[in-house]
A = this chain, B = another copy of it.
Amino acid sequence: MTHQWHENLPIYKQLVIKIRQGILNQLYPEGSALPSVRAVSAELSINHITVSKAYHELLDEGLIEKRRGLGMFVKTGAKETLLHAEKSKFLAEDLPNFIEKMQQLKIDKQEVISQIQQLITENKHD
């Protein structure tokens, strides 16, 4: 929310975000192996070091672990950790920022609320 200038983000950072989402989406379930550095670098046509940098960031966040000679694996508990962290951040930062901006711009609250209601009900399958 705060700064969604996703475009100018360095490639490795975009990768980090994509993988984080993959963990949340069960695309990479806990215990599963991430695609190898080489595989990703080949698939996306980017340097392997760039991929490695992304994986290291996830390593530092404690979301994945290295098994030597085998590759990178999603840690057990990673999804929960992530969900928790992002939820906290959302409630502590994004929500207040959002509301503050809404007020500053004198956006009609009813318009916002109805949009939220509407979009939520559309995806009732959640």
B-binding residues in A (CB < 8 A)? 1-6, 9-11, 13, 21, 24, 47, 53, 56-57, 59-61, 68-69, 83, 86-87, 90-91, 93-95, 97-99, 101-107, 109, 112-113, 115-117, 119-120, 123, 126
A103 CB contacts on chain B under 8 angstroms? 119-120, 123, 126
| CB atoms of B101 and A115 under 8 A apart | no
Q: Is the CB of B87 within 8 A of A107?
A: yes
Which residue of the partner chain, among B11, B60, B104, B116, contacts A112 with CB atoms under 8 Å?
B116
A90: B residues at CB distance < 8 A: 101-102, 105, 107
Interface on chain A toward B: helix, strand, loop, or mixed SS?
A: helix
The reply to whether B87 and A94 form a contact with Cβ atoms under 8 Å apart is no
Question: Are A86 and B105 touching (Cβ within 8 A)?
Answer: yes
Contact of A56 among B1, B5, B102 (CB under 8 A): B1
Does A116 contact B109, Cβ atoms closer than 8 Å? yes
Contacts of A10 in B (CB 8 A): 68
